[in-house]
A and B are shown apart, each in its own frame.
Chain A
Amino acid sequence: MRRTLPLPLALLTGIALHATPALADVENDLGLNARSAALGGAVSATGGDFAASAYNPAALIVPGDEEGLGELSVGFVVGVPSVWTESLDPGRTLEVGPPLNTTALTLGGRFDIGSGLGVPGLMLGFAFYAPMDGLVRSRIGPDDALSWLQLGDRTSHVSLHASLAFRIADWLSVGAGVRITFDEEAFITGAATDLRRVIDPATGEERVEAGTRLGIDASIYGRASPILGLLVAPVPELRFAFAWRGRLYSDDWGWARLQGLEGVGDIGFIHRFTHVYRPHELAWSVAWRLHERVEVSAELTWALWSEAVSPTWRSLEGRFGDTLVPAGGVRISAHPGLDLMVGYRYARSPFNDFGGPTNLLSNDTHHIGFGLEADLDTLVDGEDVPFTVSLAGRLAVLEDREEIKNGRRFRSDAALAANPGSPGYRYGGLVPSVQLTVETAW
């Protein structure tokens, strides 16, 4: 195959990716199932479902679980961001791509494998999250291009959780697991067949055209991120949890290389990006059944964002900072077999451009969750309907934020004027999502 390409940019276009980066994850932004979505993610101590594989593996097994328990769950989630941006210069239009919508399926389960293995109290859990518009979809852009830092492709990467929990005593269980994300490697190699100078008929600019034969080799590898947890239940109505969720990200790297240029040799570049970045997280959580019909939960998560890298793998010293994320949830049994849930989570933005050249849009965010859960076996008299249906909605409110460029952050006035975000901008929005989960147990 012979292709004619502008020499340096031909290699860039080989990657053929564009626009908005993303640093965040499914668990915090959407909730791994309807229950965790509705409770604002304050579920590390409540546990008792497959989502504990991700939030706190120790909570895969909770007081009251019967011997030989098995659960399977399937869920569907839709998220449709609605955001806005406006330049502080009324005459300027900002170029910022819209965040991606989310449609995904989640499969999960937990199984008392200890009964079969002769190790009472050993529970296996798993969760599989699969975006429906492609298992891995990445968007890439330079850090100074206006782009939504945490609303891009964060929910467009397949992920797999697998965890084990072990109940040491009735009041104490421990757990360990992994979340597996997927790294991408792409190697583009071109063999030069000829080089020539041409005048672009459209722009009148002179450029070099290279005849090439291109070969593309792409691979995907798994990357495991550990999760450790502890669950303490001094009394059946009260549980304390502690979890550490290891840093995770998708490492996207490779090269584009043009070989055999007469008099030059090989030219090209190596690229490296990161997607779905989530920092190390330490979570403390408590769940308390105040009344036989009311359970409340609260959680505090320390996210070590100060160690984060940008989507182009730069540390951006001083612009990322650790955050403390509070969350809380209430679950009320309104009727036998019918529970109502509400939750709230406040995530401060881990990133600030501070008037500098980067333009990564990131808001302080209020997550408001609500939902209901119907145990059909209890609700339907006289019939054996072993299913629980949960429906949850979550509204992420992105607080309005303003970024004003500071000339001191730029090397020259020309660089300040040329920045895509100059002289500044405002941005905010809403991210509504809906999640439906059907669960069966035996």
Chain B
Amino acid sequence: MVRISTVLSLCLIACGPSGADYAFERPEGCEMGCDDAGTDAGLSDAGPPEIPDEPLEDWDVAGAGPLSGVFAVEVTIPARAVVEVETRQLYRMRILQRDETLRMKITPCRFALPSVPSVATLSIPPRLETVLRGIAIEEEGPFLSAPEPIGATVTTPRSVVLLGADLADPEGDPLPTTEMPETALDQDEDGQPGVTVAADTVLCRTPGELYLALRATVEMSAVIDDLDRIEGGVVPTLDQSVLGVSDRCLNAAASLEIELLEGSRFTALRAGAIEDYDGNGNVSCPEIALRAVPLFGDFWAAP
């Protein structure tokens, strides 16, 4: 009897796996799949997008010329980071035209940082995108070469986007460094110096973070032959300084040196009712980001 009970006791604890220590990833009800997208959610399965209500700027539009309106702008900058890569930026540009005078407001919407495919990928997290969208360059001046837009040359004011640094001269002062971090600014308020950029590299088992100060300038010019689609050249600069890394395995990615190459260009497409997702009469940055794929192609598709 003792032997039988011993064997039965052994069976209870030694009859194969029980799964007791194997935790579930999702709650009950998800056995066959869930309506929620879980933690791997992408843009396409995360439910309807939420567009913050951003009304159109309260400008006096009486007598506005035909070029007036909101444009979605994609800037493409070829660069070299070990190999030739491309960085792209999305902007919202509002124009109010009165003869040669243009009132322009340019807001950065999305930045795709230079990445070496399959080696190091840098991306801007949502928190930083919110910071980006808080930046706007607004100027008024004779940016059009003739009162009639068709055939005229448009030149945008020089747009400076400075992230992660507080400089007296945003365009000319040097960016902070790890050795001289005094001018670094925790702009995304995450407790890390500068702004935080997500980094996924082959040397790291899990994605990490780079803490950067970054400065990008663009100056666009084009000859207008279509009031709804303007294409032209860009004079860009891109300058970045790594202020820290979340893991030493990112040191190689941090040391990537980026050299901008010739051939930068921009495409500005007039944004209309289709892009006005919330129908409030304004096409805001989140709406341009949402429509980036149909406007500018698969480059802007979620990974």
Residues of A within 8 A of B (CB): 6-8, 195-197, 206-208, 261-269, 300, 302-303, 305-306, 316-324, 348-352, 354, 356, 406-417
Contacts and interface: CB of A to CB of B under 8 A. Distances in A.
A291 to B, nearest CB: 24
Given A197-B83, A265-B252, A267-B252, A413 B24 contact: no
A318 B17 contact: yes
A417 B45 CA distance: 14
Contacts of B203: 267-268
B16 A323 contact: yes
A356 B84 contact: no
Contacts of A409: 22, 24-25
B4 interface: no
Contacts of B214: none
Lowest 5 CB-CB distances: which A-B pairs, in order?
A318-B22, A321-B17, A412-B38, A412-B40, A318-B21
A224 B165 CA distance: 59
Contact of A8 (B26, B118, B252): B118
Contacts of A317: 21-23
Interface string B254-268: 011100000000000
B168 interface: no
Majority-rule SS of A interface residues? mixed
Given A197-B84, A267-B203, A412-B41, 6 more contacts: A7-B119, A208-B119, A318-B22, A351-B17, A407-B26, A411-B40
B256 A263 contact: yes
B117 A263 contact: no
Nearest to A348: B16
Contacts of A195: 82-83
B252 A406 contact: no
A267 B19 contact: no
Nearest to B81: A263
B30 A407 contact: yes
Main secondary structure of the interface of B (DSSP, over half): loop
Interface residues of B, number: 48
Nearest to A410: B25
Given A321-B17, A356-B22, A415 B40 contact: yes
21 contacts: A8-B119, A197-B117, A261-B82, A264-B82, A264-B255, A265-B251, A265-B252, A300-B10, A303-B14, A318-B17, A321-B17, A322-B16, A324-B7, A350-B17, A352-B16, A352-B17, A407-B32, A409-B22, A412-B41, A412-B45, A413-B37
Contact of B16 (A196, A350, A413): A350
Contacts of B41: 412
B27 A269 contact: no
B247 to A, nearest CB: 15
B263 to A, nearest CB: 15
Given A208-B83, A413-B37, A414-B45, A408 B10 contact: no
Interface in B9-58: 10-11, 13-28, 30-34, 37-42, 45
B116 interface: yes
Contacts of B32: 407
B202 interface: yes
A131 B78 CA distance: 57
Given A197-B83, A267-B203, A321 B30 contact: no
B82 A407 contact: no
Contacts of A267: 119, 202-203, 252
A314 to B, nearest CB: 12
A408 B31 contact: yes
